[in-house]
Amino acid sequence: MRAALRELARARAKVKQHVPHPPEQGFALEVGPGQAPHPRADVVVDKYVADDFERQGALDFSKPLVVGDGHRLPFADGTFGYTLALHVLEHATDPDAFAAELSRVAPAGFVQVPTRIAELTFGWPYHPWLIDREGDTLVFRTRNGQRAPVGDVFHQAYADSALLRNWWAANRELLHHSVEWRDSLNVRVEGESVAEGTAELDIERTTSSLSDFNQRGALRPHSTAILAAMRCPSCRGELTFNPGDAECGACGRSYPVIGDVPVLLLEAAR
């Protein structure tokens, strides 16, 4: 019993090391929150609205949403005071570009990714990388065929066993790399992105899904300041918002706007 209580206390003590600490001032952006946006996020960016293959559950629309890509964030430099990316960077096809974008739009932030141990124990078919940590640098390496042979067993055991969940929480550093960065997020990439499967981006389905949510009154409006900071994902030119679209004054591309949600993806450009 004493050992169990000690482990429970250790689990509680670990919490502070693995949660973000955004400042009270300034805008906060969360990239890829899916079904669980952070309470501090003022804006969220998600790419896959219609396909939930890479998330567990339906998209949450409680925060103002931009449909965008973390590799090309559609915002001006330094728009935010803090960025959050929890269990997103491991999905990236180009972690270098993704990290550079997080650093471009904010001077600080928090990222969390599964460790190599977590990937080889649990396994997620849409994660192309094994991630190690060297100091404050996250090192992304191609999986080279390494998989979690009994991952389904561990996923089910985690769901069924409170004891396993407590052990997991007490030893979280084995399973999560949590990095709260300043100035820039440091990553190194060795190899290329190869995943067993990925979500599919279908612009027509995306806009159709957003239209359905808009009709239900689920979509949240953006503040005037955030709208003014949005940029073309192609050239970073300023955008003019018209009924139903956003037009770039620099390159002439336009992007659909469904209700209060701009779809600022290269794939959606007209």
Q: In this structure, is residue 205 part of a structural domain?
A: no
- Matching residue, tokens 């990236």: 92
C-beta of residue 67 within 8 angstroms of C-beta of residue 263 = yes
Q: In this structure, is residue 237 part of a structural domain?
A: no
pLDDT at site 10: 72
Q: In this structure, is residue 224 part of a structural domain?
A: no
pLDDT digits (tens, 9 = 90+) for 99-151: 999 999 999 999 999 999 999 999 999 999 999 999 999 999 999 989 999 99
Q: In this structure, is residue 87 part of a structural domain?
A: yes
CATH number at residue 104: 3.40.50
Q: In this structure, is residue 215 part of a structural domain?
A: no
Q: In this structure, is residue 221 part of a structural domain?
A: no
Question: What is the chain's mean pLDDT, rounded?
Answer: 94
pLDDT at site 39: 95
**6 vs 71, higher pLDDT:** 71
Mean pLDDT of 153-176: 94
Mean pLDDT of 234-253: 97
C-beta of residue 71 within 8 angstroms of C-beta of residue 88 = no
Q: In this structure, is residue 202 part of a structural domain?
A: no
* Structural domain span for residue 167: 2-190
Q: What percent of the chain has pLDDT over 90?
A: 89
Q: Which of 149, 125, 270 is nearest to 204 (CA)?
A: 270
C-beta of residue 263 within 8 angstroms of C-beta of residue 201 = no
3-state helix, strand, coil in the chain (%, to 5): 30, 25, 45
Strands 254-258 and 245-248: antiparallel
pLDDT digits (tens, 9 = 90+) for 9-38: 676 777 778 899 999 999 999 999 999 999
**237 vs 163, higher pLDDT:** 237
Number of domains, the chain = 1
Identify the band that residue 3 occupies on the pLDDT scale cut at 50, 70 and 90.
low
Q: In this structure, is residue 107 part of a structural domain?
A: yes
The whole-model pTM stands at 0.94
Mean pLDDT of 221-250: 97
Mean pLDDT of 75-94: 97
Beta bridge partners of 179: 111
| Sign of the CA dihedral with 64 first, then 219, 240, and 236 last | positive
